[in-house]
Amino acid sequence: MTLRPPLLLVAAALAACAPAAAADNVVEAPAATRTAQESGGLKAAYFAGGCFWGVEAVFSHVRGVTSAVSGYHGGNRATANYDRVSSGVTGHAETVRVIYDPAQVRYDELLRIFFSVVADPTLRDRQGPDRGSQYRAALIPVDAEQRAVAAAYLSQMRASGVWQRPIVTEIERPREFFVAEDEHQDFARRNPRHGYIQRWDAPKVTALARLFPGHYRATFRNG
C-alpha cells in the first residue's frame, strides 16, 4: 500500500493490501432491533475491517459522515507506522475513525452498513486477500451506548441466520488512535484507477449505493 517507485508496486501489493480477483461477499445485514440513542452533536466511531482504504472509501460515501480517517488502533505509538504495522506483530489493526451526525445516520445504521458491504464478520485475522491480525475486523465503541448497541447487534447477527459460519468479530476496548501516513488518506478518491481499488473497494461502494440508497452519497467526503 505504501507508495513506492513503479517497479516495486507489485511487490508492495503482495506484501500488504494485495489485489483480489473479486469483491468481498456482500450480504444484507439485518436492521438493528436495538437502535442507538444518541444526541448532542457529532459522534466518533471506530471500525477495523481489513485494509483501511476500503473501510474509509465506503464511509466517505455515507450521508451524515463528516470525516473518515485511516489509522492504527490497538498498539503503541512507537510502532504505529505502516511498515511496522504490516508485520502483523504490533497489535494494531488498520482502523478508520468515522465522525458522523446521529441526526442523519445512527451508530446502529453504521454497524449495519459495515457488516453488509465492508467486513465479513466470520473471518478471523483476515479480510478478503489480506492476512494478519492487522486486518482483523473489530468494533471499538467509545462510550456505554455504543458498546451496548454493538453487543446487541453482534448477538442479533449470530441469531439471524444470515451468515452460515460463526461470527468472530469482537468488541475491543478503546485505546489511542494513531492517524496513518498522508498517502493512505482519501486513497480511493485520489487513486481511482489503482488495481486494488478497482478490483476490491469500488465494488463495496457500488454495493452501498445499491443496498442503502437512502444512506448513499455520491460525492466522496474527504477525511
CATH code (residue 90)? 3.30.1060.10
Instruction: Report if residue 22 sits inside a domain.
Output: yes
Instruction: Report if residue 221 sits inside a domain.
Output: no
Q: pLDDT class for 121, splitting at 50, 70, 90?
A: very high
pLDDT tens-place string over residues 31-67: 999 999 998 899 999 999 999 999 999 999 999 999 9
Instruction: Report if residue 222 sits inside a domain.
Output: no
pLDDT tens-place string over residues 12-30: 333 355 444 345 679 999 9
Which range marks the domain in which residue 139 is found? 6-211
**E strand or H helix at 49, and its extent?**
strand 43-49
Grid cell in block for residue 83: 511498515
**Count of domains forming the chain:** 1
CA–CA distance, 172 with 138 (Å, rounded to integer): 7
Q: Which SS3 state, helix, strand or coil, does residue 211 take?
A: helix
Instruction: Report if residue 223 sits inside a domain.
Output: no
Q: What is the pTM of this model?
A: 0.90
| Cα→Cα distances 65→110, 115, 116, Å | 10, 17, 17
Instruction: Report if residue 58 sits inside a domain.
Output: yes
Active site residues: 51
CA–CA distance, 66 with 223 (Å, rounded to integer): 8
pLDDT tens-place string over residues 73-89: 999 999 999 999 999 99
